[in-house]
Amino acid sequence: MKGPEDDAGLAGKVALVSGGGAAGDGIGNGRAAAILLARAGTKVLVSDRDLKLAGRTVEMIEAEGGTAAAQAGDVTDEADCKRLVEAAVDRWGRLDFLDNNVGIGSRGSVVDEKPEEYRRVMLVNVETMFLLSKYAIPAMIKTANGGAIVNISSISALRPRGLTTYSTSKAAVIGLTQAMAVDHGRDNIRVNCICPGPMYTPMVYARGMSETARRQRARASVLKIEGTGWDVGHAVKFLLSDYARYITGQVLVVDGGVTLQGPERDSRDH
């Protein structure tokens, strides 16, 4: 009899999770997705620019009996993207899933932003997804059942709030997702997008965050609760699973209803 985690077409498959590390034992979006996929029987290649951070995710997976491997990679580099896909295929013979999870933040208007910073944000937040997908999709086509990709965007793409370059990059992720879904539906490859709200993750609290700011972020949700990396991880797992077999080119907002309320400019009280 299949266990509760093994009934969604995830067991025996292979996933590449970019940005799968996190500081210490913190649970970021990528680490959560990697752990949850491994619990469902997926073999996971955890990629991060910092091999130690990816390695810690692998340790956490292996401690639960899952299968994973860590691979250092700078996904802004095309050659590294190609190597990451090859590493997954070389190790496990296939690639079924890609979680494009890398991203950085930015503040300011077009007047305030420096052109070099704009280009850097677009490179990290958009081009990395283009590059990894460029090499992942041909590998997925070789499998019998195609594959699935999840790109991580942000509610800032849907409701700009004073983070102009960041919002632009995350809106581009949505466009890329929908275009890829159209291009590769014939290959039985589904491509979807998640727009997280103000999640409490290591990337956020590493910059320092007051308890007042943390409470304010929680109150922004209509549920009045705080989102975490686990919330995004569960959404990734769902969209990669057979439960989402008829879903492609869609944007799943994971924000506790933040976008249902009036926008507020981003607070610098972190």
The Cα 148–Cα 136 span in angstroms is: 10
Residues 6+ apart with CB under 8 A from 217: 198, 200, 226
The Cα 165–Cα 158 span in angstroms is: 13
The residues that are catalytic are 166
Compute how many other C-beta atoms are within 10 angstroms of the C-beta atom of residue 252: 18
The H or E element spanning position 184 is helix 164-184
The Cα 146–Cα 224 span in angstroms is: 39
